[in-house]
Amino acid sequence: DRSVKIAPSILSADFANFGQEIEAVEAQGADWIHVDVMDGHFVPNLTFGPPMCAAIAKHINTVMDVHLMIAPVDPYIEAFAEAGADVLTAHLEAGAHTHRTLQAIRGAGCKAGLALNPATGLEEVEYLLDMVDLICVMTVNPGFGGQKFIHSQVEKVRRLREMIGDRPIHIEIDGGITPETAPLMTQAGADVLVAGSAVFKGGSVSDPAPYGENIRAI
Ligand code: DX5
Ligand code: ZN
């Protein structure tokens, strides 16, 4: 389905070669580049911060989709916006003042994304619908690539698409996307699929053709 965007997560790329990995995966058909920022506090893993994002941004010709798995979020919004984030996504679970966070993200000139952990219901999303450009439904517990898809989230996405109605809001799915799980989510109403291990497996910057095959298989 051409209207569905594939956003490879560089969490599964070679960390010593992000520039070349991004150029390879874009040449192989990636629509967006998904950048996972982890703080070792909100999630039990560490990746990188704004300086690395700024370096990565120079190699992205599509959309830089920054997923913040950090708490607190607000003190860092300006820095990630300046680093070149096009979409900046914060977790609903990261703080008590999500409305303020989303306002600040838009105020910094980014599209505002809201991510929901698998355990989080949709009730708290209702009064944020006019504040978001994207809702990211996590289909794994955030922190690591290569985890198993949580099937209960298919029904959640179907209900979320109903809630959204004709508002121009993307539904992004993050975690465990494979050629088997992807169609369940696009049928339920998702239009952006993040995929890390399923895109980068079997390829490398010197042999990038598998990236393209993997993207087309999703
Ligand atoms: C998980 C990250 C995901 C992850 C997806 O915490 O937010 O973006 O890299 O990896 P896969 O596609 O391997 O589940
Ligand atoms: Zn992510």
CA 8 to centroid of ligand 2, rounded, Å: 9
Grouping H, G, I as helix, E, B as strand and the rest as coil, residue 138 is: strand
Active site residue 74: no
pLDDT tens across 37-89, in order?
Answer: 999 999 999 999 999 999 999 999 999 999 999 999 999 999 999 999 999 99
- Number of domains comprising the chain: 1
CA–CA dist 172, 155 (Å, integer): 14
Active site residue 14: no
Q: Note whether ipTM > 0.90 here.
A: yes
Q: Which domain holds residue 207?
A: 5-217
Which uninterrupted H or E stretch holds 158? helix 153-164
CA–CA dist 2, 125 (Å, integer): 28
Cβ pair 170, 134 in contact under 8 A: yes
Mean pLDDT of 123-136: 98
Decide if pLDDT at 1 tops 60.
no
Decide if pLDDT at 189 tops 80.
yes
What atom in ligand 1 is closest to the CA of residue 141? 6
Q: Tell me if 196 is assigned to a ligand binding site.
A: yes
Q: Tell me if 151 is assigned to a ligand binding site.
A: no
Considering the chain, what is the average pLDDT of its residues? 98
Ligand 1 lined by 88 (C-beta under 6 Å): no
Tell me, what CATH number does 133's domain have? 3.20.20.70
pLDDT tens across 81-112, in order?
Answer: 999 999 999 999 999 999 999 999 999 999 99
